[in-house]
Chains A and B, each alone.
Chain A
Amino acid sequence: MREFAEIWSYLAASPLIWLTATLIAYVIGDTLAQAAGRAPLANPVLIAVILLAALLWLTRTSYATYFEGAQFVHFLLGPATVALAIPLWQQRHAVRRAFLPICAALLAGSVTAVLSALAIGHALGLSPQLLATLAPKSTTAPVALGISQSLGGSPTLTAVLVILTGMIGAIVVTPLMNALRIRDWRARGFAVGVAAHGIGTARAFQVNPQAGAFAGIGMALNAMLTAFLAPWVLGLFQ
């Protein structure tokens, strides 16, 4: 077994092992989510994060060591954010046709998401750093991490809060909209894209294609608006 220990100590110090582990964990998470019929609770990211966190704990590996390998995946968040322009461009005609309702829903939904989270968090006595971490929770993850970092929050904790927000939105959207008697698929989709980013958008596509397209528009526009809105709303609570 001395050989195994030697191989392990060599591999554990190289970025390759944690990059590979990240991809394997995601493939397992995605396979399980597919097997569960893409139910909102069976989120592939959440499954992958739990598997990797358990593996780091078992092998007593620090997050810094893990990140040396995982940074190659993490880096792609920036280009992915830029690429969100593509679905927005593909839906440009739908955006033009429903321009005023989209502007109203974007402003109302985005302000409510940030303001209500910070107001409740402030009332519960969360620290300014935790409020900054919480502010971009409805924004798509790559943008949320950037906002959190520039506001002095904790990007890693923001990532977890963003995923949880998406799962909550995906679970409650259909029963909530039915209870409110909102039947316009554009309104239902757009609202879930603004409030619950990509996870909500994936849910909207399962329910109705038009709702899915509008959810994608909501997610992309909210990412841009929250980037400018969050610092300003956060200033109200400091």
Chain B
Amino acid sequence: MIHALTLILACQLAGEALTRLFGWPAPGPVLGMALLFVLMLASGRVAALVQPTGEGILRHLSLLFVPAGVGVVGHLQQLGTYGAGFALVLIVSTVLALAVGAGAFVIVARLTGNRDKSDA
């Protein structure tokens, strides 16, 4: 477990260092994710090593948003002022993104003859 945790933190650290070095707009951990993915593809041993620990962290992923979410106490006034606007933005944008994303998947799957195997 300690080896897996070390590897995950090392990927994050490398990601943080690289985004700052090259001035990339992406957060460091996102680059760390890409780095870990490449390492897992390259080595089956790495993949076997990080899976149990990584899955343990991901199992309680939603707990990790709680501290940031509690920060809403400092934004109650803003939420009150812009509440209706935010609600409109979130609902319309989420419905559009769902419809366009699923539509694009289905159309390209049909054009390229990429069938869903479970359909047959």
Contact = CB atoms under 8 A, between A and B. Distances in A.
Q: Is the interface of B mostly helix, strand, loop or mixed?
A: helix
Q: Place the interface of chain B in its size category.
A: 35 or more
B67 A169 contact: no
Interface in B60-105: 61-75, 78-79, 82, 85-86, 88-105
Contact of A80 (B57, B67, B78): B57
A88 B39 CA distance: 13
Nearest to A158: B68
Given A105-B101, A112-B96, A176-B99, A126 B74 contact: no
A196 to B, nearest CB: 6
B78 A157 contact: yes
Q: Is the interface of A mostly helix, strand, loop or mixed?
A: helix
Given A120-B92, A195-B98, A77 B74 contact: no
A23 B109 contact: no
Nearest to A70: B67
A56 B70 contact: yes
B22 to A, nearest CB: 12
B67 A73 contact: yes
The CB with the most chain A CB atoms within 10 A, among B55, B89, B105, is that of B105
Contacts of B64: 73-74, 76-77, 80, 141-142
A191 B34 CA distance: 21
Given A82-B15, A113-B97, A56 B71 contact: no
A118 to B, nearest CB: 9
Given A73-B66, A81-B33, A142-B29, A173 B98 contact: yes
Contacts of A161: 86, 90
A83 B57 contact: yes
Nearest to A183: B119
Interface residues of A, number: 114
The CB with the most chain B CB atoms within 10 A, among A79, A92, A124, is that of A79
Given A100-B108, A156-B75, A227 B63 contact: no
A117 interface: yes
A175 to B, nearest CB: 10
Interface string A157-184: 1111111110011001100110010111
Contact of A180 (B30, B55, B88, B102): B102
Contacts of A184: 102, 105-106, 109, 116, 119
A224 B33 contact: yes
Contact of A137 (B32, B67, B90): B90
10 closest cross-chain pairs (CB), A and B: A156-B71, A109-B101, A146-B27, A70-B67, A191-B101, A227-B26, A81-B29, A105-B105, A108-B104, A191-B102
